[in-house]
Copies of this chain bind each other. A is one copy, B any other.
Amino acid sequence: MGERVGASLRDIARLAGVSVKTVSNVVNGYARVSPETRAKVEEVLSQLEYRPNLSARNLRQGRTGVIALALPELDAPYFAELSRFVIDAAAELRWLVVIEQTDGSLERERRILDGVRDHRVDGVILSPIAIGADELAARTDATALVLLGERIHDGPADHVAIDNVRAARDVTEHLIGLGRTRIAALGAEDNAASGTAPLRLAGYREAMAAHGLPETIATVERYRRDQGAAAMAGLLERAEPPDAVFCFNDLLALGALRTLLSCGLRVPEDVALAGLDDIEDGRFSTPTLTTVAPDKAELARIAVDLLKQRIEGPADHPPKEVGAGYRLVARESTLGRSPARPRPAGPGR
């Protein structure tokens, strides 16, 4: 198995009675090739079902046509959804995407930064958690790099993200607007060198400060449902439990929701709940989840675009930062549900 049946340019050339280079020219649409020659070659090409050998082409051109997408974990819905868009955006450039998982570990992020396991890739899109700006600045590997989902201003690399501070402020304002006063933030991280947690925390604080409300902050280690559930349990044990919780992402919120419901609390009557990410789960949970919906398709498209510019553009242009859009989507977990309907209805998109 695996024996390459593929015809090479040489095979085509032989059959068409022309030189290898002429075939190459036809294949690439290059140069001036006479109509008759072109026709003859194309005849043979399709007859032998010629497929270029990309290893060879890449060797020759120094490009691989493959980029890496390095994420903390593919099985977090947000990243899975984002990946889909990245793959689609890359496909338009005929790029392939290999996915690497860092598990948020510093060591694995480092390894990504200096080469994807020796495979040459043309560029890397990294969603960083552990690695810091200084270390990024110091990296030696010349592979094009775009940071995704966080925003280190004046950082050492191109990056794209939504305005996390403002988004967090919007959510918090939304909760405040409901009349809640004991609003907790769930999802601060202790050890994150980069990542979005500090930004979202800052947005929360701005809003709370603006209204003279007291802060309550629950920390987690990872953005996962179980951590959200546990942190929520912790909040409920406090002397003055919150009447609203802004979870730094939807997974945490869904974990928190589980805890609230299994404690017999009503959402949003007893505790209003909001997340961030707009993963699909939150559109079908009961209650449905209020959240911030980043424009994932835009994020992906911009990331790929930036990478393209890095790869093809002049070597030296300064790092760019680009913002992507988002919108606040208020759903049942803050607004309350409409009364039980005899006729079923799906949640809106």
Give me the interface of A with B, judged by CB distance under 8 Å. 1-5, 51-56, 58-59, 62-66, 73-75, 77, 79-81, 83-84, 87-88, 91, 94, 96-101, 115-120, 122-123, 140, 142-144, 225-226, 229-230, 232-233, 236, 254-255, 257-259, 261-264, 280-281, 283-286, 310-311, 313-315, 337, 340-347
Which residues of chain B come closer than 8 Å to A97, judged between CB atoms?
98-99
Which residues of chain B come closer than 8 Å to A5, judged between CB atoms?
140, 142
Copies of this subunit: 2
Q: Contact partner of A255 among B52, B83, B233, B284, CB < 8 A? A: B284
24 A-B pairs in the complex with CB atoms less than 8 angstroms apart: A2-B63, A4-B142, A53-B59, A53-B120, A55-B58, A59-B59, A66-B66, A66-B98, A66-B119, A75-B84, A79-B80, A87-B99, A87-B101, A88-B101, A225-B280, A233-B343, A233-B344, A258-B286, A258-B346, A259-B346, A261-B286, A264-B340, A264-B341, A285-B285
* A122 in contact with B75 given A64-B55, A101-B84, A262-B286 (CB within 8 Å): no
Q: Which residue of B lies closest to A64 (CB)?
A: B55
- With A74-B80, A96-B116 already in contact, 15 other A-B pairs whose C-beta atoms are closer than 8 Å: A2-B122, A53-B59, A55-B120, A66-B119, A74-B83, A74-B87, A75-B280, A83-B99, A87-B99, A91-B117, A97-B98, A230-B346, A258-B285, A264-B341, A281-B281
Q: Which residue of B lies closest to A233 (CB)?
A: B344
Q: Which residue of B lies closest to A313 (CB)?
A: B1
Which residues of chain B come closer than 8 Å to A344, judged between CB atoms?
229, 232-233, 236, 259, 262-263
Q: How far is the CA of A193 from the CA of B59 in the complex (A)?
A: 40
Which residues of chain B come closer than 8 Å to A118, judged between CB atoms?
51-52, 54
Which residues of chain B come closer than 8 Å to A255, judged between CB atoms?
284, 346
Docked-complex contact A75 and B66, CB < 8 angstroms: no
Q: How far is the CA of A79 from the CA of B84 in the complex (A)?
A: 12
Docked-complex contact A263 and B75, CB < 8 angstroms: no
User: How far apart are A88's CB and chain B's nearest CB, in angstroms?
Assistant: 8
Docked-complex contact B263 and A341, CB < 8 angstroms: yes
Q: Which residue of B lies closest to A142 (CB)?
A: B5
Q: Contact partner of A342 among B96, B257, B263, CB < 8 A? A: B263
Q: How far is the CA of A144 from the CA of B262 in the complex (A)?
A: 49
Q: Which residue of B lies closest to A94 (CB)?
A: B117
User: How far apart are A149's CB and chain B's nearest CB, in angstroms?
Assistant: 16
Which residues of chain B come closer than 8 Å to A101, judged between CB atoms?
84, 87-88
